[in-house]
Amino acid sequence: MYCIFCEIIARREPARVHYEDEDVIVFENRLHWTPIMLLVVPKKHLNQKELWADLGKVGRVAVELGEKLCPNGFRILSNFGHDAMQSQHHAHVHVLGGMHLGPYV
């Protein structure tokens, strides 16, 4: 099955990469709902449930980049399933910030 995140990791699709090591890659989301909208993605293809069972390095990198790029605060979120608008099956977390984010829906 085609996975855009796996294609980005393999460098067959373009992305603006902010961080990369042997386990994690961080790139800008193509959606621009907030000034900072990053995707923190494990290089190993996991689903959301597998990732959240042990956030490990993905969690650490998300917090580090959030603190660096959004010094006034940021939000980390993850969507699970259709009703939550999960559009990619490859596990990931979003780092959102760069503005006042307002209340939750």
The predicted-structure confidence for 10-49, as pLDDT tens digits, reads as follows: 999 999 999 999 999 999 999 888 999 999 999 999 999 9
Instruction: Select which of 18, 92, 94, 100 is catalytic.
Output: 92
Q: What is the mean pLDDT of the chain?
A: 95
Q: What was the pLDDT predicted at 32? A: 86
How far apart, in whole angstroms, are the C-alpha atoms of residue 93 and residue 41? 7
Q: For this structure, is 92 an active site residue?
A: yes
Residue 25 phi/psi, 5-degree rounding, is -130, 145
Q: Pick the closest to residue 42 from 65, 66, 59 (CA basis).
A: 59
Quick check: 57 and 49 in contact, CB under 8 A? no
Domains and CATH numbers, the chain: 4-97 (3.30.428.10)
How far apart, in whole angstroms, are the C-alpha atoms of residue 66 and residue 13? 24
